[in-house]
Amino acid sequence: MSYLFTSESVSEGHPDKVSDQISDALLDEFLAFDDNSKVAIETLVTTGQVVVAGEVKSKTYVDVQEVTRRVINNIGYTKGAYRFEGDSCGVMVGIHEQSPDINRGVDKADKDDQGAGDQGMMFGYACKDTDNYMPLPLELSHEILKELAVIRREGKTMTYLRPDSKSQVTIEYSDDNLPQKVHTIVVSTQHDEFDADEPMLAKIREDVINILIPRVKAKLPERVQKLFGDDIIYHVNPTGKFVIGGPHGDTGLTGRKIIVDTYGGRGAHGGGAFSGKDPSKVDRSAAYAARYIAKNLVAAGVADEILVQLAYAIGVARPVGVFVNTYGRKNVNFTDGEIAQKIQELFDLRPAAIEEKLKLRNPIYLETAAYGHMGRQPKTVVKKFESPYDHSPSIKEVELFTWEKLDSVEKVKKAFGI
């Protein structure tokens, strides 16, 4: 008997994602001028207002208001009609210094013994649904919204689009966990009020089905394109018109879309959010490490699907536990417990080692804050940051999404005799 599985995504203009992007943009600014900054920043956005709060220990100063307004404008909130606009919204700042009680457990005389910034468990997941080892429902949900944002910025078709949108994709799977077809697609997009309700909603539905989805489909591998049949069920703006949206329609908070950020409900999640946190917080860095391990193990052929859990105690360098679940889909003569033991032999899971391996003490985080932290394409970019003190910029060549690299596949194959 086949089964259905569903994942959702939200756009860069969704209120929670606006908050995530502000938090991560501020983190990048601190790291650009002091790569040892300790940062934990939360953001709240609502009608005409932004509240930025948190704890920071850094040698540099960041113009919080300027960075916040820049992020909001870049997303597309540039019109007074949105009731939330980058140049005119209020920005309240409540940032203070990190607790020395926390810092005492993290910073050590020997950097390699750096303790975890908090307790908790983090999960990494990978499967063979897609070429980048991500669950297909989430991958398609992200792609729909990324393309919708491209169309909005082009301004040639669907010219009524506003920044806030959501998507959801349901995939039918076979009993052996192989995607069989795209079953249902849900798209809700904020829009201008350009006609009476009935013809307006009919036009949006028509454009989603005949403009957006074909553009998304054209960018997909052929094996995924074949899953799009003529019997897909579409729900487009199913509640009716969606003119009031963004932070005016719904308050946004940093860290409220952790499932969108990771695996769309596949695998598991330890509950810790990512955005606004420097990599000493294992909520973020260990989750990236767990994804890196899971992806390299699946790519090496250890299993067709794998979940990796890492668990830490605050102030302690080495994980207190490593757990593996291959869901009965492993391809090697090792138990899941033996695979977990191999992982500890192959990968240094101390926080400082993770930071160094994945190059996490760099300003690489704004790019993670919309359309998922996992399954993205690793690449090298040059980023420029202006100093709030003078006009001397910090120009950084950085690697994005290093945890998506497959540079441990051969090492894994050798260890497992593949």
Does 32 map to a domain? no
401 in a structural domain: yes
Interval 12-65: pLDDT, tens: 999 999 999 999 999 999 999 999 999 999 999 999 999 999 999 999 989 999
Q: What's the pLDDT score for residue 95?
A: 93
**Where does a domain end: 244, 262, 294?**
244
55 annotated among ligand-binding-site residues: yes
Q: Is 281 annotated as a binding residue?
A: yes
The verdict on residue 49 lying in a domain is no
If one counts the domains in the chain, the total is 2
Alpha helix locations (H) across 307-346? 336-346
**Domain shared by 294 and 230, yes or no:** no
Examine the pLDDT at 373 and tell me if it is beyond 80: yes
14 is in an annotated binding site: yes
Whether residues 238 and 299 share a domain: the answer is no
pLDDT tens profile 57-110: 999 989 999 999 999 999 999 999 999 999 999 999 999 986 665 555 565 555
Please tell me whether 284 is known to bind a ligand: no
Whether 208 and 299 share a structural domain: no
- Asked whether residue 290 falls in the same domain as residue 170, the answer is no
98 is in an annotated binding site: yes
Residue 115 has pLDDT above 80, yes or no: no
The reply to whether 303 and 403 lie within a common domain is yes
151 pLDDT above the threshold of 90: yes
Average pLDDT over residues 390-410: 92
Would the pLDDT of 112 be above 90? Answer: no
The pLDDT of residue 387: 79
Examine the fold and report which residue of 244, 266, 293 is the final residue of a domain before the chain moves on: 244
- Domain end residue (candidates: 244, 263, 294): 244
The response to whether 384 counts as a known ligand-binding position is no
How sure is the predictor about 300, in pLDDT bands with cuts at 50, 70 and 90?
very high
Indicate if 145 and 238 belong to the same structural domain. Answer: yes
The pLDDT of residue 114 is above 90: no
Q: What is the distance between the alpha carbons of residues 168 and 236, in angstroms, rounded to a whole number? A: 10
* Across 85-89, 120-124, 256-260, 391-395, least confident range: 391-395
pLDDT of residue 108: 52
The answer on whether 147 is annotated among ligand-binding residues is no
Residue 58 lies in a domain: no
196 lies in some domain: yes
Give me the mean pLDDT over the 114-142 stretch. 94
Domain for residue 255, yes or no? no
Q: Is 85 annotated as a binding residue?
A: no
- Residue 316 inside a domain? The answer is yes
Any binding-site annotation on 336? no
Least confident piece of the model among 135-149, 235-249, 389-403: 389-403
**Range with lowest mean pLDDT among 133-142, 216-225, 253-262, 385-394:** 385-394
pLDDT computed for residue 107 by the predictor: 57
Question: Helices 15-33 and 64-75: crossing angle, nearest 10°?
Answer: 130
Nearest to 39 by CA among 365, 286, 417: 365
Query: Taking 80 as the threshold, does the pLDDT of residue 390 lie above it?
Result: no
386 and 340 together in one domain: yes
197 and 290 inside one domain: no
Asked if residue 167 has pLDDT above 70, the reply is yes
| Residue 257 marked as a ligand binder | yes
Q: Above 90 in pLDDT, residue 394?
A: no
For residue 112, is it within any domain?
Answer: no
User: DSSP string of 373-392?
Assistant: SSSPPPEEEEEEE--SSSS-
- Residue 239 pLDDT more than 70? yes
Residue 241 assigned ligand-binding role: yes
- Is 157 a residue whose pLDDT tops 80? yes
> Could you give the CA distance from residue 81 to residue 168 in angstroms, rounded to a whole number?
27
Do 217 and 345 sit in the same domain of this protein?
no
CATH of the domain at 229: 3.30.300.10
Residues 215 and 289 in one domain: no
379 annotated as belonging to a binding site for a ligand: no
| Residues 6 or more apart whose Cβ sits within 8 Å of residue 206 | none
- The reply to whether 292 and 408 lie within a common domain is yes
pLDDT (average), residues 190-201: 96
Antiparallel, parallel or unpaired: β 379-385 and 120-127? unpaired
Domain that holds residue 185: 3-8+135-244
What is the average pLDDT score of the chain? 94
| Residue 334 annotated in ligand binding | no
271, HSE (Cβ side, Cα atoms, 13 Å): 5
pLDDT in tens, 341-366: 999 999 999 999 999 999 999 999 99
Question: What residue type is assigned to position 386 of the chain?
Answer: E
Give the pLDDT of residue 99.
61
Question: 407 among the known binding-site residues?
Answer: no
What percentage of the chain exceeds 90 in pLDDT? 91
Note whether 291 and 373 are same-domain residues: yes
